Structure 1
Amino acid sequence: MLVNKAALTTLYVSMSAIFNNAFDAAPSQWQEIAMLVPSTTATNDYSWLSNFPQMKKWIDEKAIKSLAAFKYSIENEDWETTVEVDRNHIEDDQYGIYKPQAMMAGESAKQLPDEIVFDLVNKAFDNKCYDGKAFFATDHKVGKTTASNKGTKKLSIATLAAAQASYGAARIALMKLKSDEGRSLNIKPNILLVPPALADIANALMTVDRLEDGKSNIYKGAAKVVVDNRLTSDDAWFLLDTTKAIKPFIYQERKKPTFVSQTDLSSDDVFSRKKFKFGAEARAAGGYGFWQLAYGSDGSVA
C-alpha cells in the first residue's frame, strides 16, 4: 500500500471506529457511587460543600448561611493512551495487527472515570475532603460537636450480633447524622460497596433469609451490592447513600476521552522512526462530595 494522505485518512477512520465501538461496549459502574460534574476551567471550587442545604421555616427574615471557612477545589489532570503504528506495517497492509490495541485503548478510555473514582475510595481513609478531615474520619465537625463515618468492624454474617455490629452499626451511624442545626439529614443508605473478597458475604447479607447462626436476616434487601475489582483492600467495605442529587464521590470532566492522531508525513517521528501515533486524550479529575453520605470500615477488627 502506498503511504499517502488518503491511506492515512482511511487508517484513521478505521482505528477511530474500532476505538469508539470498544468505548461504547466497555462496562462502567462509577455512576453507581459518583456524580458527574462538568468542568469549564482548570480548577473547580467546591467550597459550597460546607453547606448541606435544608429547607427551614421562614420566620421574619431569611436565615442566610454563609460559606464556611473551608477551602476545597479539584484541579483537572491530563490523561492519555497512545498506540504507535509502524509505517512498514501500513505499506504491507498489516495495520490490522493494531486492532486489539485500538480496542484496548477504547476500553481504557471508557473506564477512566472508574479508575479515578475507585482510586478515591481506596484513598478515602487518608485523603482529605472539604472540611480538612480524611473523608472517612471519626471527628468530622458538625456544629459544636463531631460525628464519625469511619468504622473498623469486619463485614460479617456469622451471627445476627456480628451483622448488627458491622453493617447494622454503619447503617445506624449514617441514618443518625444531623445538620449543624441538629436536624436529621435523612440519610438513606442504599449501596453496599465491597471488593471481590467480600462479594459473597455482602451478597448473602442482602439476599439470604437466615444468617449462619440460623437467626432471621433483618437486613435482607436493605441495599444494592456493588463489587469492584479496583478496590485494593480485601477487608475494607463501604455503605453509601446515592439517592440524593449530590453523591459521595465526584467525577469532574473537563474534556471527554477523544480519539486523536499524529499522521503528518513530515513529522520528526515519521522521518526518524517511521512511526505514526493514534490514541486518546482526556482532562478530568476526582474528588469527594458530602462525607455524610458515606461510611467506610477498614475491616481491621473482627
Structure 2
Amino acid sequence: MKINGAVISALFLNLSKAFTGAFTAAPSQWQEIASEVPSSGKYNDYTWLSNFPGMKEWVGKKQIKKLSEYTYVLVNKPYEATIAVKRDDIEDDQLGIYAAQAQGAGHSAKQWPDELVFGVVNKGFTEKCYDGKPFFATNHPVGKSGVSNKGTKKLSAASQEAAMASYGTARTTLMSMKDEDGRPLNVNPNVLLVPPALEATANALINSDRLDDGKANLYKGTAKVIVAAWLTDPDAWFLLDTSKPLKPFIYQPRKKPVFVQQTKVESDAVFMEGEFKFGAEARGAAGYGHWQTAYGSDGTVA
C-alpha cells in the first residue's frame, strides 16, 4: 500500500472509531462510590471538607465557621497509553492487530477513573485525608475526642453474633456519627463494598433470610453489595453512605481520557523510527471526601 496523507487519515479514523466503541462499551464502577469534582487547574484544594456548617437557630450574630488549620490538596497527574504503528505494517497491509490495540486502549481509558478511585480505597488505612489522619482511622479529631471509622473484624455471616460484631458494628458506627456540636449527621450506610473473595459472604449478609447458623438475618436488604476486582486485600471490606451530595471518595478529572494521534508523514518519528503513534491521554486525581460516611475493616480479626 502506498502511504500518503489520505491513507493515514482513513487508517487513524478507523482506529479512533475502534477506541471510541470500546470506551463506550467498557464497564465502570467508580460512579457507585465516588463523586466527580472537576478541576480547572493544577490542583484542587479541599480544605473546606473539614468545616461544613449545619443549620442552627439564628440568635444574635451569625456563627461563622472558619476553615481549619488542616490542608488537603489533590494534585492532578498526567496519564497516557501510547501505541506505535509501524510504517512497514501499513505498506504491507498488516493492520489487523492495531484495531485490537485501539480497542484495548479505549477499554483501559474508560476504566482509568476506576483505577484511580479504587486505588485510594486500597490505601485508605494508611493514606491521610483532610484531617491529617488516615481515611480509615481510630482517632479522627471531633471536638475534644477521637472518633473511629476503622475496624478489624472479618466480614462474617456465620452466625447472628458474628454478623453483629462485623457488619452490625460498622452500621451502628456510621449511623451514630455526630458533628463537633454533638448533633447527628444522619449517615445512612447503603453500600457494602467487598473484594471478590468476600462476595459470597456479603451476599449472604444482605440477601439471605437466615444466616449460616439458621437464625434470622437482621441485616437483609440494608445495603447494596458491590464487588470490585480493583480491591487488592482479600480480607478488607467497606461500608459506605453514597446518598449524600458528596460521596466518600472523589474523582477529580482535569482532562478526561481522549484519543490522540501522531500522523504526519513528514514527522521526525516517521523519518527516524518508521512509526506513527496513537493512544490515550488523561489528567486527574482521586482522593477522599468525608470520612464520616465510610467505615473500613482490614479483616484481620476473626
Structure-2-length-normalised TM-score: 0.99
Q: Structure 1, residues 166-217: CA drift from partner, whole Å, max 9, x if none?
A: 0000000111110010100000000000000000000111011000111100
Residue pairs, 1:19-168, within 5 angstroms: 19-168=19-168
Identity among equivalent pairs (%): 61
* Separation of aligned partners in 2, 1:99 and 1:280: 14
Q: Structure 1, residues 100-136: CA drift from partner, whole Å, max 9, x if none?
A: 1100000000000000000101000000000000000
Provide the residue aligned with 2:229 in structure 1. Answer: 229
Q: Structure 1, residues 210-264: CA drift from partner, whole Å, max 9, x if none?
A: 0011110010000000000010001000000000001110000000101000112
* Separation of aligned partners in 2, 1:244 and 1:51: 16
* Separation of aligned partners in 1, 2:236 and 2:166: 11
Provide the residue aligned with 1:207 in structure 2. Answer: 207
Alpha-carbon shift at residue 266 of structure 1 (Å): 2.2
* Separation of aligned partners in 2, 1:104 and 1:182: 51
User: What is the Cα-based RMSD across aligned positions, in Å?
Assistant: 0.8
Alpha-carbon shift at residue 90 of structure 1 (Å): 1.0
- Write out the 4+ residue segments of structure 1 that deviate beyond 6 Å after TM superposition: none
Alpha-carbon shift at residue 52 of structure 1 (Å): 3.1
Provide the residue aligned with 1:282 in structure 2. Answer: 282
Q: Is 1:268 aligned to 2:268, yes or no?
A: yes
The one-letter code matched in structure 1 to 2:110 is K
Provide the residue aligned with 1:18 in structure 2. Answer: 18
* Separation of aligned partners in 1, 2:181 and 2:30: 33
Alpha-carbon shift at residue 59 of structure 1 (Å): 1.4
Alpha-carbon shift at residue 98 of structure 1 (Å): 0.7
* Separation of aligned partners in 1, 2:157 and 2:98: 48
* Separation of aligned partners in 1, 2:216 and 2:97: 57
The one-letter code matched in structure 1 to 2:171 is R
The aligned length equals 302
Equivalent residues of 2:202, 2:225 under 8 A apart: yes
Equivalent residues of 2:127, 2:134 under 8 A apart: yes
The one-letter code matched in structure 1 to 2:141 is K
* Separation of aligned partners in 2, 1:134 and 1:278: 39
Q: Structure 1, residues 15-62: CA drift from partner, whole Å, max 9, x if none?
A: 000000000000001000000011000010000000133211111221
Provide the residue aligned with 1:173 in structure 2. Answer: 173
What are the ranges of 5 or more consecutive residues in structure 2 without an aligned counterpart?
Answer: none
